[in-house]
A = this chain, B = another copy of it.
């Protein structure tokens, strides 16, 4: 059955969905009420269609500016620098950071040919110079590339007279922001150190 095979193949391409899971999901989907299935399909296409990147911070948004950049209650002069837009969600879950974000869209990785011009470092420097930023918290992952990126950015920003801090190593080395609980993440922000 061609349509099922195609569906299994497409599901199997998603991260963490092996062939067995893809088959199980596909055979479940075809037994679901038709309207539920069409709503699932529509919500997939719709989310992709409507999501874009905030031109200020690089976060996901459905509107012109993202929810955080357009919120006047956020502390305007503190920026938290993260690797990608999903990290904003992990930080926000903590509910203890009230500043704004700057999404790099990647980290420096000489092995993969990703230099400073391939991620949003120039945009960060622009923001620090033009948005009266008093502190930049570097919250890239505590792995080799994340540390190297943080060091590089710190070196670029310090001459501008802004306070540059790094989230504390409460986070396990080699870890990933996605899998860290809110309390550890809160500690990591609390114990941030000067760079």
> Which A residues contact B (CB, under 8 angstroms)?
1-4, 6-7, 10-11, 13-17, 21, 23-30, 32, 34, 36-51, 60-62, 67, 85-86, 89, 178
A48 touches B32 (CB 8 A): yes
B86 touches A47 (CB 8 A): no
Report copies per complex. Answer: 2
| A88: min CB distance to chain B, Å | 10
A48 touches B34 (CB 8 A): yes
A47: chain B residues within 8 A (beta carbon): 3-4, 6-7, 26, 29-30
> Which applies to chain A's interface (DSSP): helix, strand, loop or mixed?
helix
Task: Give 9 A-B contacts (CB < 8 Å), ordered by A residue.
Answer: A1-B51, A7-B47, A14-B28, A14-B29, A15-B28, A16-B24, A17-B25, A23-B89, A30-B47
Known contacts A27-B85, A30-B48, A30-B51; 15 further A-B pairs (Cβ under 8 A):
A1-B51, A1-B60, A1-B62, A2-B62, A4-B51, A6-B47, A7-B43, A10-B39, A13-B40, A14-B29, A23-B89, A24-B178, A29-B48, A37-B44, A38-B45
| A19: min CB distance to chain B, Å | 12
A51: chain B residues within 8 A (beta carbon): 1, 3-4, 30
| A176: min CB distance to chain B, Å | 11
